[in-house]
Amino acid sequence: MAVTAEQVKELRQKTGAGMLNCKKALAETGGDLEKAIEFLREQGLASAAKKAGRVAAEGVVESYIHAGGRIGVLVEVNCETDFVAKTDEFRALCKDIAMHIAASRPEYLRREDIPEEIVLRETEIFRQQTLNEGKPEQIVDKIVSGKIDKFLRDQCLLDQPFVKDPSVTVANLVASKVGKIGENISIRRFTRYEMGEGIERKEDDFVAEVMAQVKK
């Protein structure tokens, strides 16, 4: 089937891949967008994996302060050269990541950063909840496994759906930039501050405000 310009544009927006690569992916998959995304991810992730072993000691510490100073984020994003660190595309990526952290409240960078005792505790809680719901014993493990996977995705920055485009994760976003920029890029660490955090007070809607501002 013929590949349309609109299909190429949509695929490019979702993956960050080059126009010719998008056209090829759609041609290879018969115009199926999801299969084309998988095709490009395989190619892009393979490319990113080759660069992952290279030292990324340059970069920036990006900040994001929500209007009114109620949420603040600092995130360190590394690349290989000072030249790339100064480019608009790299800086825009860092800003997007900082805004995402402000809106999505990740607790950890990656799954292996979560202490084992927390995973075990949550597993037991989910198991008891599932049993209390009267689910059949033979499917309890499967249900608990699904809940734990969602818990881990919610807690870890790299696993979270990117706020500007939930069809890709933050890890996918970074990988697509590795392919475009041609250098290893990694998020090293982040800190999120929230006004009044830890102080008992009435819940407000500032996170919703951040989400609305990010999506403008």
Instruction: Pick the range with the lowest mean pLDDT from 6-15, 75-84, 90-99.
Output: 6-15
Q: Give dist(CA 141, CA 148) in Å, integer.
A: 10
| pLDDT of 135 strictly over 90 | no
In CATH, what number does 115-154 get?
Answer: 1.10.286
Answer for the pair 75, 98: CB distance below 8 angstroms, yes or no. yes
The predicted pLDDT at position 45 comes to 41
Amino acid in position 72? G
Q: Give dist(CA 185, CA 38) in Å, integer.
A: 21
Q: Give dist(CA 7, CA 131) in Å, integer.
A: 46
H or E segment to which residue 107 belongs: none
1 pLDDT band, cuts 50/70/90, is low
Q: Give dist(CA 36, CA 30) in Å, integer.
A: 9
Q: Give dist(CA 147, CA 140) in Å, integer.
A: 11
Share of the chain above pLDDT 70, in %: 80
Instruction: Pick the range with the lowest mean pLDDT from 41-50, 103-112, 156-165.
Output: 41-50
In CATH, what number does 5-52 get?
Answer: 1.10.8.10
Q: Give dist(CA 193, CA 195) in Å, integer.
A: 7
| pLDDT of 74 strictly over 80 | yes
- b/e map 129-161, b = 16+ CB within 10 Å: ebeeeeeeeeeeeebbeebeeebbeebbbbbbb
192-203 residue pLDDT tens: 999 887 776 554
Q: Give dist(CA 7, CA 180) in Å, integer.
A: 20
The predicted pLDDT at position 156 comes to 95
Beta strands in the chain (DSSP E): 58-65, 71-79, 161-162, 165-169, 186-194
Q: Give dist(CA 118, CA 106) in Å, integer.
A: 15
46 pLDDT band, cuts 50/70/90, is very low
- 112: tokens are 């292996």
The CATH architecture that domain 58-107+170-214 belongs to is 2-Layer Sandwich (3.30)
- How is the chain split into domains, by residue range? 5-52, 58-107+170-214, 115-154
Whether the domain at 58-107+170-214 and the domain at 115-154 fall into the same CATH topology: no
